[in-house]
């Protein structure tokens, strides 16, 4: 157990509260109470409420960007790439499910520069995803359904993992990966 910095403790506590009620509904006094201190004391460690949010979201977005770039630039086939994307989402979710709630639901409360930066990363991530599916379709590695529907459907499931996985502790992470890949790629029927 390496000791976490006080700042990181605050950010982790904030992520939990943001997950439960959303960024706007969590006050600095709520956060302070969760930390067992007074609201003003938080400012010995952080600069602003906004800084907490951007630290949570931008860090995660960059993780996805790095992961996706590796997958796109690999020479694996389409199915393997899709499997790797599923892997990426499961890994990030296991490591920081609370933070993903903010990324999914509170990104619009980022301020100017970080908001633009985030939206750019998200756009590129989705474009990369779409390109993988499109190429798979051209090569006949994927069924000829509407590309947008396939991308949306898969991404919806992966994005929502954060809500669901923490409650399914009995499911081993390898079984999760295997069945998730099966369900998304081969369907249920």
Partner DNA sequence: GTATCAAACTAACAATTGTTAGTTTTGTTT
Partner DNA sequence: AAACAAAACTAACAATTGTTAGTTTGATAC
Q: Is the Cβ of residue 43 or residue 164 nearer to a second copy in the bound state? A: 164
- Please give the DSSP secondary-structure letter assigned to residue 4: P
CB atoms within 10 A of CB 98: 19
Q: Which residues contact 137 (CB under 8 A, 6 or more apart)?
A: 143, 144, 147
Q: Is the Cβ of residue 22 or residue 124 nearer to DNA in the bound state? A: 22
Rounded Cα distance between 90 and 180, Å, is 10
Rounded Cα distance between 14 and 4, Å, is 15
Q: Which residues contact 89 (CB under 8 A, 6 or more apart)?
A: 158, 159, 161
Among 6, 130, 134, 177, binds DNA (CB under 7 A): 6
Helices 78-95, 112-138: inter-axial angle, 10-degree rounding: 150
Q: Is the Cβ of residue 28 or residue 137 nearer to DNA in the bound state? A: 28
When asked if residue 37 is in the footprint of DNA (CB under 7 A), the reply is: yes
188 touches, from a second copy, DNA, none (C-beta below 5 to 8 Å by class): a second copy
Rounded Cα distance between 125 and 17, Å, is 27
Among 22, 49, 130, 159, binds DNA (CB under 7 A): 49
Token code pair at residue 46: 């952080």
Shortest Cβ distance from residue 126 to a second copy (Å)? Answer: 11
When asked if residue 182 is in the footprint of DNA (CB under 7 A), the reply is: no
66 touches, from DNA, a second copy, none (C-beta below 5 to 8 Å by class): none
Residues within the interface to a second copy (CB under 8 A):
20-25, 79, 82, 105-106, 108-109, 133, 141-143, 145-146, 148-150, 152-154, 156-157, 159-160, 164, 168, 171, 175-176, 179-180, 182-189
Rounded Cα distance between 1 and 53, Å, is 25
Q: Is the Cβ of residue 54 or residue 96 nearer to DNA in the bound state? A: 54
Shortest Cβ distance from residue 143 to a second copy (Å)? Answer: 6
* Residues contributing to the site for DNA (CB under 7 A): 6, 26-29, 32, 37-45, 47-50
């Amino acid at each position: 157990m390496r000791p976490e910095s006080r700042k990181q403790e605050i950010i982790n506590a904030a992520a939990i509260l943001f997950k439960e009620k959303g960024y706007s509904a969590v006050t600095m006094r709520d956060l302070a109470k969760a930390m067992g201190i007074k609201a003003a004391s938080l400012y010995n460690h952080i600069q602003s409420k906004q800084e907490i949010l951007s630290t949570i979201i931008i860090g995660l977005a960059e993780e996805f960007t790095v992961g996706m770039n590796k997958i796109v630039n690999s020479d694996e086939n389409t199915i393997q790439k899709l499997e790797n994307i599923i892997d990426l989402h499961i890994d990030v979710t296991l490591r920081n499910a609370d933070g993903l709630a903010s990324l999914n639901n509170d990104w619009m409360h980022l301020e100017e520069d970080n908001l633009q930066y985030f939206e750019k990363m998200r756009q590129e991530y989705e474009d990369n995803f779409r390109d993988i599916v499109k190429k798979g379709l051209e090569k006949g590695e994927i069924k000829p359904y509407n590309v947008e529907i396939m991308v949306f459907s898969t991404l919806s499931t992966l994005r929502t993992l954060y809500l669901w996985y923490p409650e399914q502790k009995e499911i081993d992470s390898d079984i999760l990966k295997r069945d998730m890949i099966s369900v998304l790629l081969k369907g249920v029927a």
